[in-house]
Amino acid sequence: LICNSSMKLKAPVQSVSLEMDRSIMDINYFGPSTLTKGILPAMISRRSGHIVLLNSIQGRLAVPFRSSYAASKHAVQAFFDCLRAEVEEYGIIVSTISHTFINNSDPPPVVEVTQKPNAVVEYIQSHLTHGVKPSALANEIVQTVNRKRKEVLLAHPIPRVALYIRSLFPPFLFAVLAAGAKDSVLAEQIQ
């Protein structure tokens, strides 16, 4: 069973209605958990099966203006983490693949700069703007099932580092995220 559902929303917390919160939770959390509960008895009776959750990296690392989305992805991640431990004795494998956004389009055009760009900035921009290609995700799903991996992170180095910073130095990451949120709000007010 491969669970893949996603409803996204980018908005400040105070502007999101409870109805929208519920819709996002229905799709991103209750969809995969309900489907899994429906198929689970057959897998338990067979004493075999493999359940794969395609989840966002925001199920492990929340970013500003994505509160409802991140909350739903955290919830579904926790559900599948618990499920993994509960069904192992029945020979059922539970895998989660956490990825950055899926990029269905071609990479953005290269803009020529008159002065030499900072190498670090150039590297970050080249890795943040492209996301994960559908073919790379499809390949990872096949690899995860074949190798019976329990947890996979499909992301470029920057989000990976952010996850480690979240674990080791949370105040630092919170300050960086807050500064980014403040800059974003200011930029929108100027426009």
CA–CA distance, 75 with 29 (Å, rounded to integer)? 6
To the query of whether residue 164 is one of the catalytic residues in this protein, the response is: no
Question: What range defines the domain where residue 49 resides?
Answer: 2-190
Instruction: Answer whether 104's CB lies under 8 Å from 130's CB.
Output: no
Q: How many domains are contained in the chain?
A: 1
pLDDT of residue 186: 52
Helices (H) and strands (E) in the chain, counts: 7, 4
pLDDT of residue 118: 53
How buried is residue 96: exposed, middle or buried, by Cβ count under 10 Å (0-12/13-18/19+)? buried
Averaged pLDDT, groups of 10, the chain, 191 residues long:
92 94 97 98 98 94 91 98 98 95 62 48 55 86 95 88 86 84 61 49
Q: Cα–Cα distances in Å, from 126 out to 17, 120, 188? A: 35, 10, 24
pTM of the model: 0.79
Instruction: Answer whether 132's CB lies under 8 Å from 99's CB.
Output: yes
pLDDT of residue 125: 54
Catalytic pick from 69, 90, 123, 164? Answer: 69
Q: For residue 74, what is the domain's CATH number? A: 3.40.50.720
Instruction: Answer whether 86's CB lies under 8 Å from 44's CB.
Output: no
